Chain A
């Protein structure tokens, strides 16, 4: 790598220079990001292009691309008209909204409760963070065992406390399955909310809190008028990240129920996976993926807008 840097790199450049001139002047900057960009291009840009292409064709089961048949927008029409798509989309929105709200709210109150100094705080924090790093596969098996319809500990505990007279069937029941899976999802996700809010709380200046107290503000007023405004940005980032990861969730429903019973816990990604690798309808699955992709792009736009806000004040 050349070590001679462009002369204008750290000086303030004149405004309104031609873009090519600026690119030439900054040419060595690109060397730093090139490795990352090459990897991204190969493994991201190409697959996106490929998925869009697939979605307009009918492709044979063995994925031999030269035998594909152009079908125009048939896959899209078929998808948007199918009742399964509507049911699964509804499930996905319920799953995402409830999981995100619960995970964020529980993360927030746990982080606030951990603000105070007390003996053993470090141990508490560490224990509460563990679900965040436990693999979703492991968590799914553990919870499947907890929910087991014959030997599950929850059913047995409920019976021992006299709440029911027979073991509860959590995940083989179309009415309780989605809620049961959301509990598992929140179990893994709330630690993420907690760790983000904990990081955000470190940016709240303690003098402000003390000043508010001197002025007679009670705990709620201190939280609402001093702490909450400082948490606004990090909260928005956290909620968006949680939403994205919930929209893209796959492992928990896949391993715990496979989308069942009767599709009651099917969400977008498990459904796409079934269409693609189960029924081998590659074109339909690709069209599905494109629709999801467009929705995620809209979300991504909001996400980056928030993240890069105020980033441009730094001089060139």
Chain B
């Protein structure tokens, strides 16, 4: 965009800088205060006026959370593992189901295609709470209440519509001629799909996986309703337990929210270029 730049004082440019500065403040101040608080002792955090900068910074809150032998650390690490397990399985299953469906929606013109695509998209419209009671009953009937499987099944359907939509955008942009060439060389349509289309859509699959993983990692409503046993809780629910049990331990809670955010933020920052690309291909060009 350097071509579109004026000489001399440029009001728009300064307006842009101001916007960025203010938005950065809005974004970063809460995160910074979270980190600063997590480095304080309980006593230091409960002062007024507050210590703007921790006078005696300590990592005690983190070591306590990450110590597998302690009661709090043991629980926290267990929740962490539960969250990871549920999110990972959800992501893998979601990709296996979404890839063929997205391909079909992109390539084939079968009767009912629009209706089905509508159904896929409309899933996003429904308030999660609508599904809460019936799914609870369904899981009870299947004997899955309190298991990780109940969460995985539910998250799978949360992620699917968006996954299918994003992936469809990628397939729309892969030239049909590539497959046609493979078909002429004797490949079946399914072989063409697996050998030609799948490798080309790897960025889309990565982006879709991030989305599915983050969605599952952060989900709260179903995790809070379905999981009744303490040792099976995922982080968003487990963290709540810390809060109510140690009602005023704000530094400990801030350390826990920080640790909970680290995996998804790091993953997202590393892979964000795929993510922007997926949105460009999927959402925008439609």
Chain B interface secondary structure, helix, strand, loop or mixed? helix
Whether A117 lies near B2 (C-beta < 8 A) is yes
Q: Which of A69-77, A81-89, A131-139, A170-178 contacts B (4 or more CB under 8 A)?
A: A131-139
CB of A180 within 8 Å of the partner chain: no
Whether A110 lies near B19 (C-beta < 8 A) is yes
* Least CB separation from A134: chain B residue: B261
Whether A151 lies near B121 (C-beta < 8 A) is no
CB of A215 within 8 Å of the partner chain: no
Residues in A with CB closer than 8 Å to B27 are: 127-128, 130-131, 187, 191
Return the CB mask of A27-46 against B: 1 if under 8 Å, else 0. Answer: 00111110111011011101
Whether A209 lies near B101 (C-beta < 8 A) is no
A9 to B239, CA, bound (A): 52
Whether A151 lies near B47 (C-beta < 8 A) is yes
CB of A210 within 8 Å of the partner chain: yes
* Least CB separation from A131: chain B residue: B27
A187 to B217, CA, bound (A): 19
B33 to chain A, nearest CB (A): 5
Residues in A with CB closer than 8 Å to B283 are: 196, 199, 234, 237
CB of A251 within 8 Å of the partner chain: yes
Residues in B with CB closer than 8 Å to A289 are: 127, 129-130, 133
Given contacts A5-B189, A40-B123, A137 and B236 within 8 Å (CB-CB): yes
Q: Which of B54-62, B64-72, B151-159, B198-206 contacts A (4 or more CB under 8 A)?
A: B151-159
Whether B97 lies near A39 (C-beta < 8 A) is yes
Contact check: which of A47, A141, A142 meets B131 at CB < 8 Å? A47
Number of B interface residues in the complex (CB < 8 A): 109
CB of B76 within 8 Å of the partner chain: no
* Least CB separation from A245: chain B residue: B124
A: residues with CB less than 8 A from B are 1, 3-5, 9-10, 19, 22-23, 26, 29-33, 35-37, 39-40, 42-44, 46-48, 50-51, 54, 63, 65, 106, 109-110, 112-117, 124, 126-139, 141-143, 145-146, 148, 150-151, 153, 156, 159-160, 167, 187, 190-191, 195-196, 198-200, 202-203, 206, 209-210, 213, 219-220, 222, 233-234, 237, 241, 244, 247-248, 250-251, 255, 268-269, 272-273, 276-277, 282, 285-286, 289, 292-293, 296-297, 299-300, 303-304, 307-308, 311, 314, 316
Could you write out 22 A-B pairs with CB less than 8 Å apart? A36-B97, A36-B120, A36-B164, A109-B19, A134-B264, A135-B220, A137-B240, A145-B37, A145-B253, A150-B48, A153-B33, A156-B48, A195-B275, A219-B12, A233-B284, A241-B124, A268-B127, A269-B127, A272-B129, A292-B130, A303-B125, A304-B117
